[in-house]
């Protein structure tokens, strides 16, 4: 009979901390709302212009003669940054800028990348034309002609 009283402090030392821990834990974790994504707003024209300007600034600085980084790599880095910011901060959503509506549109990353590259390259040609290779300028002018022909149809 002396065996039982000696075992009680052992159980007390083991199970009391687990019991207190169970009281502190909330087992209803799967029904809690996630508030981190609740403030996602679509990118407005001002947001897109800001991200475009940041990309143009990077391309112009990186392609200067003194720094002499590869232009295509610089353009790809600026485009990837443009896409990643819109995807992470705005959830790949932009305001419908063509129809001037207050409708948000979810854009695929490939389309965001293409549009970002065209926008950044076009603005870089205006801002720092000396830093842009002639090959890229020619490709841009061909692309603009294709877009204009497509819009006429």
Q: Indicate the domain borders of the chain.
A: 45-133
Q: Estimate the crossing angle of helix 71-90 against helix 109-127, to 10 degrees.
A: 130
pLDDT above 90 coverage of the chain, percent: 35
The pair phi, psi for residue 43, each rounded to 5°, is -70, 125
Q: What per-residue confidence (pLDDT) applies to 45?
A: 86
Identify the top-confidence range among 33-42, 46-55, 93-102: 46-55
**pLDDT at 98 exceeding the cut of 60:** yes
User: Can you tell me the mean pLDDT for 41-68?
Assistant: 88
DSSP tag of 43: B
Residue 122 pLDDT class (50, 70, 90 cuts): very high
Q: What per-residue confidence (pLDDT) applies to 64?
A: 83
């Amino acid at each position: 009979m002396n065996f039982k009283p000696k075992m009680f402090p052992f159980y007390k030392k083991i199970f009391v901390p687990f019991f207190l821990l169970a009281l502190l834990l909330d087992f209803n974790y799967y029904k809690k709302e996630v508030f981190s994504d609740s403030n996602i707003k679509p990118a407005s024209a001002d947001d897109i212009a800001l991200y475009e300007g940041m990309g143009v600034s990077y391309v112009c600085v990186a392609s200067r003669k003194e720094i002499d980084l590869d232009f295509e790599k610089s353009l790809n880095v600026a485009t990837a940054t443009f896409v990643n910011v819109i995807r992470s901060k705005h959830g790949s959503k932009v305001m419908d800028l063509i129809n001037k509506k207050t409708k948000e549109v979810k854009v695929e990353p490939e389309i965001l990348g293409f549009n970002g590259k065209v926008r950044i390259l076009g603005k870089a040609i205006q801002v720092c034309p000396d830093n842009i290779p002639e090959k890229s300028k020619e490709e841009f002018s061909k692309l603009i002609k294709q877009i204009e022909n497509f819009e006429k149809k």
